[in-house]
Structure 1
Amino acid sequence: MEFCDDCGSLMTPQDGVWVCPNGHEKARDSEKEKSMVTTEGQESSEVVDMSDVDNADIGPTTKAICPKCGHDVARYEMKQIRSADESETRFFTCVECDHKWREDDH
């Protein structure tokens, strides 16, 4: 990854130079790029079969009422999807009907 010295944006390689979304350019350094790590070719299209896994074994659960079926247990995970000074968003999946919903702090 290369970041723009002027604005801090992520740069992409184009025609032998690094270019940021704001139009700033920086010369490419082939020696420096040898140590860069790429995600190219690391994508996995392998499907994981979870059909034989018990719901209790798939992450933590909590008491939460499913808005679809009314069941009171759901798996959850928390993700930071907004700026760092905002609270995390909680994502729930009902263990009974697999309905998914989210809960934000306001």
Structure 2
Amino acid sequence: MECCPTCGSMLLYELPHMGRPARFHCPRCPYVCHFESGVKIKRKERLVRKPIEPVLSQDDLKNAPKAEVTCPKCGHGLAAYKTMQTRSADEPETILYACLEKNCRHTWRE
């Protein structure tokens, strides 16, 4: 995405037409930027994957209320839960569960 250096509007791409090369033009002011057919990469930026933070941390598991819910992964009958309003106010709350089995720690929601 390119922006007009004069007014800051987003430049529109115009295809080559009747011998005129392809160009970017500003819909608000008379700015025009012609370019060659090749694409030039201005900068390369390496993407870094951010670590995913758990919804229920270890501190939350210690203090969270417990419910007798069966874990879908291991079948353990006790899980900690937390409620969050993830959608609009007229929708029901989302219940996030975390299995309390030490080897499992599976999380799911309802």
TM-score per shorter chain, which class? 0.3 to 0.5
Provide TM-score, normalisation by structure 1: 0.44
Provide TM-score, normalisation by structure 2: 0.43
Larger Rg: 2
